Amino acid sequence: MTTPTLHGHWFTPDRGQDLLVVGPSLGTGVVALWGRCAEALAGSAEVDVLGWDLPGHGEGDPVDAPFTLDELAAGVMDLVDRARPGARFVHAGVSVAGLTSLALATSGRVLGVAVICSDARVGTTQGWRERADLVRRSGTSVMVEGSAQRWFAPGFLEREARVAGGLLTTLEHADAASYARVCEALATADYRDAAADIAVPVLVMGGRHDPVCTPEQQQALAAAVPGARLVILEDAAHLAPAESPLEVAEVLADWLPGAR
């Protein structure tokens, strides 16, 4: 197992303000997913926003070596240390990066975590291994049609064709081996037992139309984490920062002072 070296993207200049680190969903790039939301956050929450890309996604270098979600979280720590050595920060992640939020929550470096369109356990071991095998054989383009159905709330594809197209293009161009390695990390990731021990502020945010991490799952996760705040967005499915960027920014801006 190895700690992946992650590519970082500053959405704001590093102005020395409180640091918010944001992470993407499997198949997406952090710029395509978080760009509009991060711009709104920078103007309303007085934070510096640093994003990271999964290996082989967006600007991330490909990786074809096994890693766990804990090692992905260690990669986020390494990125922060390269950007701002020793800094404490708040982490907000979508889907696989939401699991990474939970992995980071007990690190001592993190002031609070937002778990967005995610859960303490996502999918099944068999399902993730089957997806990894499929993508290795056929490439990431095989995932585009199904992802277009799972990722977006009704009407979003038609209403925001450019945004949705950018996200699906990132998926189509993602490195197949890297995508498969993320699937394999998800196959063994399980933070259900750890949820009750989280002591930092936690925001659980989900989409009403999310078929991957349903509102009921979001409610159960929030109930399992002491003091967690729960927000369900009515017009989002699985990629809330892209679907409802201003609303996600507003919720985060309201929650961040307590986390900081």
Query: Per residue of the chain (260 residues), what is the pLDDT tens digit?
Result: 689 999 999 999 999 999 999 999 999 999 999 999 999 998 777 899 999 999 999 999 999 999 999 999 999 999 999 999 999 999 999 999 999 999 999 888 899 999 999 999 999 999 999 999 999 999 999 999 999 999 999 999 999 999 999 999 999 999 999 999 999 999 999 999 999 999 999 999 999 999 999 999 999 999 999 999 999 999 999 999 999 999 999 999 999 987 66
Q: Is residue 81 in a domain? A: yes
Q: Is residue 133 in a domain? A: yes
Q: Is residue 56 in a domain? A: yes
Amino acid at 79: L
Total domain count for the chain?
1
- Is the overall model pTM greater than 0.85, yes or no? yes
Q: Is residue 34 in a domain? A: yes
Q: Is residue 1 in a domain? A: no
Residue 232 sits in a domain whose CATH number is 3.40.50.1820
Q: Is residue 2 in a domain? A: no
d(CA 104, CA 72): 10
Secondary structure letter of residue 190 according to DSSP: -
Q: Is residue 48 in a domain? A: yes
Q: Domain containing 11: what range?
A: 7-259
Can you list the alpha helix ranges (DSSP code H) found in the chain?
30-44, 69-83, 96-104, 125-138, 144-151, 156-159, 161-173, 176-188, 215-224, 240-243, 245-259
How many C-beta neighbours within 10 Å does residue 31 have?
17
